[in-house]
Amino acid sequence: MTVPLRIPFVGTRIKGAPVGWATAALFLACFAPVIIGLVQAWISLPDAAHGILIAPVAVWLAWRSGPVADPRPARWIGSAIILAAVLANLFGRVAGVETIPRAAFLLALLGLTMWFAGWRQIIAWWLPFVLLALTIPLPESIIASMTLPLQEVAAKMGAAMLSWRHIPVLLSGNVIRLPGHTLFVSEACSGLRSLTALLSMAILVGALFLKYPLSRILMVALAVVLAIFVNGIRIFMTGFLVFFVDPKLGEGFMHITEGYLLFLVSLSILASLTWLFLRIERGVQTRFGRTEDV
């Protein structure tokens, strides 16, 4: 005996198993390897480690927001997006380019949302979608093109701070030469890891706590500047400790611990900036509210 069941978002009734369950099964059959690969990348790749925290937050935000009150499914557009995602997934697997199936996974989620609920649901879930997009590891070519400039910027900032402290410095590319010591600003010290993590956090806190688009844009821009500046301070501290205290402080456990501590400092500064923007927004809102009363 079949029982009429309501399809999620759509509001129609069919007999048999819900379309939602059938869709979920097909989706997992198509993208399960991509999801497993993403989780493995979050665990194994330092540049993508923030995905371990950001992805569950994105899912929770979508669950908390829930479906819109008046869904308007866009079946044709949703079907076209899903078809494009499936084809991109197949092409990426055949070509051996991991980024394409991962992007196709996110595209498929967008297509399913369009199919079941339409544009209004995508607008309501814009933050979870953006956060999920930030968890997708960048291609190696893009990472390589970003790493070298960030290494050079960090080396220049660190060398400038060391010179300001009257420490003899000779900078050659991303190599800082001190009397009796040589510091090499490696790819791990480029600041790309902290940059992606801080960028994700800035978007998250900006969307959750700030009201005005200008405040959110400034928060993201300041997060980028903060990540670069703090990484320069890390290079300076490493050189300072190596020169004045012990060369062993520039490597191994102490060097890694220093990086984590400075990242916590960056998060604290980001929280302080959020508080400052909140105060400014409240002041602007109060001022305009009084003006309207007059």
Statement: residue 291 has pLDDT above 70: no
**pLDDT > 70 fraction of the chain, expressed in percent and rounded:** 86
Residue 231 has a pLDDT of 85
Share of the chain above pLDDT 90, in %: 30
pLDDT the model gives residue 14: 39
- Tens digits of residue pLDDT in 157-184: 888 888 888 888 888 777 888 887 777 7
* Residues 221 and 270: beta-carbon distance below 8 Å: no
d(CA 58, CA 166): 47
Q: Which residues in 69-227 belong to E strands, given as ranges?
A: 170-172, 175-178, 181-184
Residue 268 pLDDT: 92
User: For the range 21-27, what are the long-range contacts, defined as Cβ-Cβ under 8 Å and sequence gap of 24 or more?
Assistant: 23/112, 27/108, 27/112
Q: Look at residue 59 in the predicted model and tell me its pLDDT.
A: 92
State the pTM of this model. 0.77
Model pLDDT for residues 45-61, shown as the tens digit of each residue = 877 888 898 999 999 99
Rg of the chain in Å (alpha carbons): 24
Between CA 119 and CA 235 the distance in angstroms is 46
Residue 104 and residue 88 in contact, taking contact as beta carbons nearer than 8 Å: yes
**Whole-number Å distance between alpha carbons of 109 and 119:** 13
Structure tokens at 29: 């059959």
State the Cα–Cα distance between residues 80 and 202, nearest whole angstrom: 33
* Burial of residue 140 (number of CB atoms within 10 Å: 0-12, 13-18, 19+): exposed
Per-residue pLDDT at 96: 83
- The token pair that represents 135 in the structure block: 């968890």
Report the C-alpha gap between 239 and 70 in whole angstroms.
Answer: 59
Confidence of residue 259 (pLDDT cuts 50, 70, 90): confident
